[in-house]
Amino acid sequence: MRTATIETTHDDAALVAAALAPDNTSEMTTTTDGDRVVTRIERETTSGLQSTVDDYVVNVDVAERVVQTANRPTNHNT
């Protein structure tokens, strides 16, 4: 079994983790610790692990952007 643990920091780690949850496979666990999102990935093969890590990194980037956009104040001219 091959494993990788990825830790990232975010202003709203819980929200980023929640945004990632739907994309997690059964070989992945994601937790939060303060401002950190910690994801452990287990795969049978090195190539499978690399592919899952690559996908996860893209998903983290998208989740962070979505959270930042959602938390951005808006100016509505009414």
Q: Where are the domains of the chain?
A: 2-71
The single residue listed with the structure tokens 């692990």 is 49
- 2-71, CATH topology level: TATA-Binding Protein (3.30.310)
Residue closest to 62 by CA, chosen among 4, 7, 15: 15
- Percent pLDDT > 90 in the chain is 81
Structure tokens at 48: 């499978």
| Joined tokens for residue 12 | 């709203």
pTM for the whole thing?
Answer: 0.86
Q: Which of 49, 57, 46 is nearest to 16 (CA)?
A: 57
17-29 per-position pLDDT tens digit: 999 999 899 999 9
Q: Calculate mean pLDDT across residues 32-36.
A: 97
Alpha-helical runs (H) found in the chain: 13-20, 46-71
Residue 78 has pLDDT above 60, yes or no: no
